[in-house]
A and B are shown apart, each in its own frame.
Chain A
């Protein structure tokens, strides 16, 4: 499992597969970023079912909603910053209010966009999408999970937000992996702390678990691949077992996975919690790995947060 592939590469490839499997109902829309989002693969094979709307994201979402109202399953793709931010009211009113079959597959999410800088580094998208009724939010951790998420969304009616990234990521899952909407995956079993991660942070959480293991600390690692609906049972089972939790996301600490887990744990099983994520600031130019260090999203940062919540947990239980 040494291959590294970007989650966005799963978009064009999986849409092509679905078309080959007879999903003639699927249409794909892009807003002048088809090469970057990889929907260009679908466009080349099925030009009659691909619509480039130009640099017009409100139109992207609105037209997709109309196609969905006309009986199609519409995949709309752009960069995360534009698909969710620029077109928020269209996502809310044209898609979610009407509960239409639109899948917003957004790429270049998070700070790993890199050198393009803060204007393009979307770290608020999970928050924006998560609060919308009818919307489901998927944040796959690797290429295979992304392919599975796209398939799952394509076969489940209603609005979806699928968060995809620019950089190549190490594989977390093998070929047998099947993505289930609403399920979190326990990747490593531990006793001392729960590391609940999503997207590019899953690998880093696994790395953090290795760092902690070297100190004799056994961490549960949970991939919360579906942020909404959150797999409450799996996450509560983990935190009630370990008594401490660290959330890990390439997103603002406000409104994303950290908030979702804090809401759940706060209501049902209060335990010491820390959120590893972008701390309410905009991004900046730099290489992806540099930025993950810069914003405190490294395996070392997760491990440090884990030690702190474990210390708080033992204080409160002693």
Chain B
């Protein structure tokens, strides 16, 4: 784990939120809600928890990141731009013809994207495969981080993969569940209750950690603890709020896959000004 102080990561989070609003606003479509809920998780990973080098995206010793909830591509692109994988100006090309910033992450196009995702439920199996390959490479240093949505846990493949990670004792896999409680059609507990996520993973043989997914302090502690646990897979169940940081988006599933208009963008950005609460 690299060291980054909490105020620095907090500043990055603020910038990433601005990036998300600006790029989704410019695109005219996209998924702001589930991107904003994952800002602290992704910022802590790229800013502190993960070993990675934007100048060498294929460095063998790097940690890997899989965005299983691929529709949250804007939060990944913001983190990659902040890290220096590509120029910030490119963020405004999101979802446009010819852009490397596809609607969902495309590993063939953009450095820093390990695997292409977007069809929900597939990321954890991909992460497991990457982890098995690292084991075959005798690479004990690298960890594979996989960010899942809570609605995504309704996909059966997630649990097939959860079984596999425990069966093969993949101590180099750390899953993070962005538990924002909302999906397109409504609250997850009403659409299809995923129940006690931590208990489910525990029953599948995973080490379970829980934290406030917007607390950098708690996230850093959780990633630190997860890194030390090498006997099997670890899941961090991070409680979050969909749309976090934009008053009129917070806690509303309507903002799952809708872009703010120009006026809404301006309002959102004003809330994220330097010195604001976030």
- List chain A positions with a Cβ less than 8 A from chain B: 27, 48-49, 51, 53-54, 56, 58-59, 61-72, 74, 89-90, 92-94, 97-99
Contact = CB atoms under 8 A, between A and B. Distances in A.
Interface in B159-186: 160-161, 163-164, 167-168
B126 A65 contact: yes
B135 to A, nearest CB: 9
Q: Is the interface of A mostly helix, strand, loop or mixed?
A: helix
Interface of B: 106-108, 114-119, 121-122, 124-134, 136-137, 156-157, 160-161, 163-164, 167-168
Of B116, B121, B134, B161, the most chain A CB neighbours within 10 A belong to B116
B156 A62 contact: no
B102 to A, nearest CB: 10
B127 A99 contact: no
Contact of A58 (B114, B118, B131, B156): B156
Contacts of A64: 129
B136 A72 contact: yes
Contacts of B161: 59, 62-63
A27 B136 CA distance: 10
B164 A72 contact: no
A70 B129 contact: yes
B157 A48 contact: no
Of B107, B108, B129, B164, the most chain A CB neighbours within 10 A belong to B129
Of B126, B128, B167, the most chain A CB neighbours within 10 A belong to B126
Contacts of B117: 93
B156 A70 contact: no
B125 A59 contact: yes
A66 B126 CA distance: 4
Given A59-B125, A59-B160, A59-B161, 19 more contacts: A53-B160, A56-B157, A58-B157, A65-B115, A66-B125, A66-B127, A66-B128, A66-B130, A66-B132, A67-B129, A69-B114, A69-B126, A69-B133, A93-B116, A93-B119, A94-B122, A94-B125, A98-B107, A98-B116
Contacts of A56: 157, 160, 163-164
Contact of A48 (B133, B136, B167): B136
Contacts of B156: 58
B129 A99 contact: no
A51 B125 CA distance: 13
Given A58-B156, A59-B161, A67 B133 contact: yes
Contacts of B106: 97
B261 to A, nearest CB: 31
B133 A71 contact: yes
A97 B116 contact: yes
A61 B116 CA distance: 14
B172 to A, nearest CB: 11
9 contacts: A51-B132, A61-B125, A66-B132, A69-B115, A69-B133, A71-B137, A89-B119, A92-B119, A99-B108
